[in-house]
Every structure is written in structure tokens, then in C-alpha cells.
A and B are shown apart, each in its own frame.
Chain A
């Protein structure tokens, strides 16, 4: 136990990743800069959601929380819930694209746009953002890192551990961005709303299955925590059950929240469409 942990000890990173600091700080600076430049007003809710998402991601990767995550299974599951679900979800529902674009210095924006136009990058992005591919990637990564032999070495090897957390964060951002914005090539169609809701439902099922299995299987799956030493006197079975429950319930709940947000987007889009139509169903030019 860390009975007397000072704020300084809590906020200093256990494993310092300069890239996390740069990315989070950069995102906040660009966003705040963008708020003053973007035409129209961005509501407080959207701003708060974006900043909260970025801060959460930073906190779970660059504070004492990361140390706890390495030594308690249930804290590790909480860390991934934030990296793969909640943090990217909060960022994506803020629809921060225009604000970030407005906040990026013109020179940097030109370079990024040039990189973005390169066919390999565009094609890879379009491919991983296809709903089926994105869904398989999202669930596949959860299964991969929770597969006991892989999990063992990921917790033992600092490089694999970093790769695991980065892969969850990047995939989380890609996935929730696609859910909230649609995928390349589908911007002008209405059907994607239903597909996104269906996808959210489908990805919840395997997460419920693996979470329930971890929580209820009744035998120890992850002995790496005994090898490396737990930091709190929590029974290994309780640690595993709690971790399983976190993988099972809040993760599936995120699908539900996602569905509600997409449904709301859908209704707004329908309403906009209604408003631009005449009584006999013709779209006004």
C-alpha cells in the first residue's frame, strides 16, 4: 500500500513517455487556440468533454495510476477502459475537428494536409475505418492483450507494455471517431447511422463474453500479478473478478452511450432534412 502518497508522488509519471505529454499538451493548446478562431460558438459541453477526455488519458498514463495498473489487474482494466473507451469517446463526441483545424498554425496545417493526401496514408485510414474492420480491430485488440500468455509478457516487458497501451489508445481514438463522424466515403449517406448503432451493439457482445468469463471462470488466469507482486492486499480472485466486471459492464455500457449519441445525431439529421423539404417531398434546391 502507499498509505502516505504525496500529490507530487501521485502526479509524477512512473514511466515517463514524452510522446504522451506532447500529444496531450499539444491537443489542449491547439484546441484552446482553435476556440478563439473557429466561426460560431462551441458549447461548454463540447469543450468540457474534449478537455476532460484528454486529461483522463494523460492521468492514467502519466501518474502513479500507471504504476498501480502494472500491479493490480482491476486497475489495469480501468486504465484500458479509459484509454480504449471513455477518453476517446469523450474526445469524439465533442466533434473537435473544426476547432482543432482552426487552432493548428497554418504552416503545420499545410504540412499535415500534404501528408494526409498521400495515397498510402489515405488508403490505410479508409481501410481501418471501414465499420467491419474497425469493429474487428476494436474487439480483437481486447482479446489479444487479455489472452493469458500475451498478457503475461506484456506485463513483464516494459516495451510490450508501452505497445499495448499505445495500441489501445490509438485504436480507441480511431474507433470512436468513426462512430461519431462516419467513415471515409459515407459522409453523404443516411444509412450509416443504423450501421453505426448495429456495430456498437455487435462489439458489446464479445466484450460481455470475455468480461463475464474472466469474472466467473473460477480459476486464476493472470498469474503475472503474483509474479510481479500486488501492491494492495486484495485477494487474487477478487482482483480478477473485479477486473472481469470492469471489462464486462462499463465497457458494454459505453456501447449503449454511443448508441444514444448516434441516435441523437440521426434525429438531428432527419430534422434538418425535413426542414429543407417541401410538403410534397421534394428537396429544395
Chain B
């Protein structure tokens, strides 16, 4: 009985996250893609970093710039500790988003924002792993087509474990508080 109470107390001391926890519900970070310099990258390259994975495309008018802008402002506000954070902007529009274009695009945001993309097979594998869908609208592959994609940011701790989900209506304050807390947790032993 005392043990149960002690456990309950230990659990309740841990304040809940302000954004949605996905701890235990999604697989660890793993992918094979290309960064905005055309180099191949994989999850291991970001070991020890807090990684925010976001799917989008550079021709996007609303969700992508808004999300990347919000994350950049938060990283900026956090300051020095945020040096250990990375935002992986996965373009699911590799036809238009060449590495060179992605490099130019991500310059508009915080330096931690990295544009990555890959072949359709690589992108399909990653989107299946995180159960997200993407698809192309009218006029694909020629003309100015829309891309339908996931709107959330998947957040991984320093061990590559999926921990949080930042959704569109999460405030910058909530994201900042949770990101701060995740960054303050110790790196892998």
C-alpha cells in the first residue's frame, strides 16, 4: 500500500507535458535521406541531438512557413541550449525541392533548420514508419501543384526516442517549455 502511494507520488511529481506526448507510441528515429548539400544523412548523424521531424515542401504557402517560423522563433528564444536542437524539414516534393533549393529555402529560418529530401522510395519508407501520408494535387508533375502532407512535428529526444508531437494549435510558449525541458534532459550515457 505504501509502495503504491510512493509510486503515485513519484508519478505525480512529474508535471505533464504541455504538448502531446507520444512516448512509447512511435518507433525511434531512423531514416536514410539527403541533406541540402546533397550528402546522404541518417538518424545516427543526429545522435545526442533533440530532433524535430517535419514533413513539408518549399512551395507551401501556409503550414510549412508558419511551422518553421514558429520553431525558429522558439529556438531563438531558448538561446544557447538550443544549439543541440535540429529541425529536419523533410521535403516530400523532391521533384521541385533540389538540395540547392532547400538550402536557399531553409536559410530564411533558424540555423538549426536543415532541409532534407530523398528518393520516393526513401520518403515512402520514412512516411510509413511515422504513419504519415503525402500526396500530390492537380497538375502534378507539371505546373504549380499542391502537396498534401502531415501538419505535425515529431519530436525525438537525445536518444532518438519519439517523445512529443507539436500540433498546429500548440502555442509557442507550450513548445518552448517542452523543448527546454527535453533539451535539459541528459544526453545518452
Contact = CB atoms under 8 A, between A and B. Distances in A.
B148 interface: yes
Nearest to A155: B131
A71 B140 CA distance: 21
Contact of A156 (B22, B133, B135, B168): B22
B137 A1 contact: yes
A231 B148 contact: yes
Nearest to B27: A158
A229 B168 contact: no
B133 A227 contact: no
Main secondary structure of the interface of B (DSSP, over half): loop
Given A2-B135, A156-B25, A227 B152 contact: yes
A229 B133 contact: yes
A233 interface: yes
B25 A229 contact: no
A153 B26 CA distance: 9
Interface string A228-252: 1111110000000000000000000
B55 interface: yes
A205 B3 CA distance: 45
A146 to B, nearest CB: 18
A2 B124 CA distance: 13
Contacts of B152: 226-228
A70 B146 CA distance: 21
A221 to B, nearest CB: 14
Contacts of B25: 153, 156-157, 160
B18 interface: no
Contacts of A233: 137, 146, 148
Nearest to A161: B131
Contacts of A230: 133, 148
Interface string B145-160: 0101111100000000
B136 A226 contact: no
Interface string A157-178: 1101000000000000000000
A163 to B, nearest CB: 13
Contacts of A153: 22, 25
Given A156-B22, A233-B137, A228 B148 contact: no
Interface in A36-71: 67, 70-71
B136 A156 contact: no
Contacts of B150: 226-229
Contacts of B128: 14
A231 B26 contact: no
B122 interface: no
Interface in B86-130: 128
A275 interface: no
- Which 7 pairs show the lowest CB-CB distances between chains A and B? A229-B150, A227-B152, A229-B133, A157-B25, A71-B133, A231-B133, A231-B135
21 contacts: A1-B137, A2-B135, A14-B128, A70-B133, A153-B22, A156-B25, A157-B26, A223-B167, A226-B152, A226-B167, A227-B132, A227-B151, A227-B152, A227-B165, A229-B55, A229-B135, A229-B150, A231-B133, A231-B135, A231-B148, A232-B135
Given A3-B140, A14-B128, A233-B137, 7 more contacts: A153-B25, A156-B25, A223-B167, A228-B133, A229-B134, A230-B148, A231-B133
